[in-house]
Amino acid sequence: MESTPDDDEVPEEELDLPGPPPAVYPVELDSKNLDKDAVKVIRRLTRYGHRAYLVGGGVRDLLLDRAPKDFDVATSAKPQEVRRLFRNCRIIGRRFRLAHILFGGGKVIEVATFRRDPSQRFHARHYPEPPEGVREDLEPPVKLAPLRSQTEEEDDLLIRNDNVFGHPHEDAVRRDFTINGLFFDLERGEVIDYVGGMPDLRRKVVRTIGDPDVRFREDPVRILRAIKFSARIDMGIDPDVYDALVEYRGELGRAARPRLLEELLRLMRGGAAHRSIYLAWDLGVLAELLPEVASFFDDDAPGTSRTWGRLMAIDRRHAEGKLPSDAVLITALLLGPLEELLEGARDPSALYDEIMEDAAFRLALPRRIKERVRLIVTSQRRLRQGKLGSLVRRDYFVEAATLFALDQEARGEDVPEWAVDPQSVSEAKPRRRRRRRRRRGGKG
């Protein structure tokens, strides 16, 4: 029988164990980047005696003077306690419960109870003395011990149980990278750092919490996340982390395939598609996900420069707030190798299925996107010839025209008016109504 969240609370004998003191950094954050609803959630939790902090990527982005996409809250309150404080709260998750607090416009503030890795035990010796100039009652960075016992089976470190409530220091250390392991105490205006995230953020370096060999084997998707943060925030990669990325890239084959697709799309959506894909290719990671594209780049095949150009055009779209659909993003990456392989084929449709079968399996590509990619690719020749015809009435015309525009930009050529705003062209074109045939020999 599966444990319920209440069964996974910290054992009584561990409740009073002192945690290692964190480093604490007073900071002044630009209030325009703070979300008023997230502030409201934290203040209500603290008013009722719970500890509550902003946590993770939102803190990182605030410290970089960026507007966070999401605001997540970590708290000592249990999910049911959160629900009692917020009428607009729903509890999600079958294994480890999370509280989603709902606001207007579909906004969700996710509230998670502090967790810990059940296999980890913390000792003060893992944490160095406070650095000079940092409050000594709460201290910092660390050369953390490996997050799992040395005697544990080393050939399978995949995390399968992460459902135990814990303390703030335990919650921080179970996260992936130091820059994502920071808490922000809204009431005191302080960043609480158990993992050395502030120094790494200042040095602009991506570093894992603990041994990178262990962390990437626990969850291989962290390999893609390391690339994402390095590219998107323009950060260097710690040498040990870089070596582990290369050594354990093959572990991606053990990750859940839908997660691989989602992380690949995040590389494409985040405003640094060109840098992200280049880094993934350079590290050999792209060869694990899309070997067709990696070998296309390796061979410097004709059209390679246009592929890089399309990725740069996608980044410009992101800056303008006009990010293409997921199908267009995937097609922009696959177009070069697909057109090269399909050129002159006797049965392009059958060959397409053969090529895409492996890619669709490796990334758990939904049939909907797979078929959309087919339609977008096969329409490109007609669009290059300017033969729009009935294409403008197809439901995929906008996406096909968007890819065409990206490709034109990559070629350094002008984008025709119909590709600049394909949505208006599609909506303006009247749909042809079929004539009804008269029945012969009818009455009348």
Concatenated DSSP letters of 170-182 = HHHHTSSBGGG-E
Q: How confident is the model at residue 193 (pLDDT cuts 50, 70, 90)?
A: very high
Q: How confident is the model at residue 58 (pLDDT cuts 50, 70, 90)?
A: very high
Helix or strand run (H / E) with residue 378: helix 367-384
Helices then strands, each counted (H, E), the chain: 19, 12
Average pLDDT over residues 261-276: 96
Q: How confident is the model at residue 163 (pLDDT cuts 50, 70, 90)?
A: low
Average pLDDT over residues 126-136: 43
Question: How many other β-carbons are positioned within 10 Å of the β-carbon of residue 317?
Answer: 20
Residue among 143, 282, 134 at smallest CA distance from 208: 143
Average pLDDT over residues 33-55: 95
Checking if the pLDDT of 148 tops 80, the result is no
* Burial bucket for residue 301 (CB in 10 Å: 0-12, 13-18, 19+): middle
Query: Taking every pair of C-alpha atoms in the chain, what is the biggest distance, in angstroms?
Result: 101
DSSP state of 143: -
pTM: 0.82
Q: How confident is the model at residue 423 (pLDDT cuts 50, 70, 90)?
A: confident
Q: How confident is the model at residue 430 (pLDDT cuts 50, 70, 90)?
A: low
Checking if the pLDDT of 161 tops 60, the result is no
Residue 238, CA distances (Å) to 241, 270, 327, 386 in order: 5, 22, 33, 49
Residue recorded with tokens 């990527």: 57
Q: Where do the structural domains in the chain lie, given as residue ranges?
A: 5-202, 288-428
Checking if the pLDDT of 133 tops 50, the result is no
Q: How confident is the model at residue 351 (pLDDT cuts 50, 70, 90)?
A: confident
99-103, 165-169, 225-229, 321-325: range with lowest mean pLDDT: 165-169
What is the C-alpha separation between 179 and 430, in angstroms, rounded?
53
Residue recorded with tokens 């392991």: 181
As a whole-number percent, the residues of the chain with pLDDT over 90 amount to 66
Q: Which residues are catalytic?
A: 70, 72, 176
CATH number of this structure's domain 5-202: 3.30.460.10
Contact yes or no for 410/313 (Cβ under 8 A): yes
Residue 335: the pLDDT is 95
